[in-house]
A and B are shown apart, each in its own frame.
Chain A
Amino acid sequence: MEGHQRNLYLYDRFNARVAGVSRDDVPTLRHWSEEMGLTFPLLANTTGYLGIAFGAQHLGMPIFARRTVVIDMWGKIRYIRDGSPDYREILLLLRGLHEEEGRR
């Protein structure tokens, strides 16, 4: 999350937005967000349906697995990666998508 917060100005330049999704509730996420100084939205998805939709909810687990998903401006999933985010890979992808937007 720190990497995303550090790169927000670059996401902005590439016409991208980031949101975090967690099974924690709103008060927990609000406290964590304030403590970490995060300014992008964190979504409380306590029922877990977003994690199921994106394949990040493993059977029997109370939390989501770490997964990064990039959706382009036309609603198409363009990138999925498990584990810790590769911020540089994400930035290169977003730059490419932004150039693609300009061509369409």
Chain B
Amino acid sequence: MGLKRNTYKQIMEFNRRTFQEKIKRRKQLARLPFEEKLKIIEEINTLSKAFKKAK
């Protein structure tokens, strides 16, 4: 069953907005000081290690 034209338009608009929001959030994170970003990576690595162990 095909989507009605309006529904399709709404989905496309939703996707466009979601994508723009995502880029906006990424750009905000990109502006964090480098040392803070390294701290985040360290946390990601620790979590990923714990997750692998738990599996």
Interaction A to B: no
Residues of B within 8 A of A (CB): none
Residues on A lying within 8 angstroms of B by beta carbon are: none
